[in-house]
Every structure is written in C-alpha cells, then in structure tokens.
C-alpha cells in the first residue's frame, strides 16, 4: 500500500507518495555529495596543484569527474518521479 504525504508551500499543496519522497531525498543527497566532491576537488587543486597549470592532479580530476557524474544522476531522478504527484 502506497502512502502519501501532503507538503504545503506558499503556492499551494503538493501531494507526494512514498516513491516521490524517496526520489526527492535521493536527489538531494546526490546533489549534496556532488557539491562536497566539487569543493574538495577545488580545495585540493589549490593545496596541491598539478605539475603544470594544464594538467590537474589525478585526485582533483577524479573528484571533479565524480561530482559531474553525481549531478547527472541527481538530474535523472526527475525521470523516476511518479506521474501522479500533483499540486492542489
């Protein structure tokens, strides 16, 4: 049995099912982790730059690539939102 939860906003009320709530939480978590990975990459780049300005440290590149991929995954979460989520 799928539960629903009503969340009120100034513009109205949004009815969200368990699947919608879970998807929104996953998306938020992925975006938070991506932001942290990006900040870590930027900080590491400042602390330990690559040998030349052209090639970044491998760890920096890894963190920035992970941040981009997590952001893409978070955006893909919108495709999993059930179509019956509606504003009232």
DSSP-derived 3-state class of residue 52: coil
Across-strand partners of 5? 16
- Give the start-to-end residue ranges of the domains of the chain: 4-79
Contact 43, 66 (CB under 8 A): no
Summarised one tens digit per residue, pLDDT across range 17-31 is 787 888 889 999 999
Summarised one tens digit per residue, pLDDT across range 53-86 is 667 688 899 999 999 999 999 999 988 776 654 4
What pLDDT does 33 receive? 97
- The residue ranking higher by pLDDT, 13 or 79, is 79
Cα separation, 14 vs 63, in Å, equals 35
Nearest to 33 by CA among 57, 62, 59, 68: 68
Across-strand partners of 86? 15
What pLDDT does 79 receive? 87
């Amino acid at each position: 049995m799928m539960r629903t939860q009503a969340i009120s906003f100034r513009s109205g009320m949004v009815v969200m099912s368990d699947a919608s709530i879970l998807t929104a939480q996953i998306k938020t978590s992925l975006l938070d982790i991506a932001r942290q990975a990006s900040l870590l990459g930027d900080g590491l780049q400042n602390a330990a730059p690559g040998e030349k300005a052209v090639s970044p440290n491998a760890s920096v590149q890894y963190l920035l690539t992970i941040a981009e991929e997590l952001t893409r995954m978070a955006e893909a979460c919108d495709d999993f939102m059930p179509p019956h989520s509606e504003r009232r």
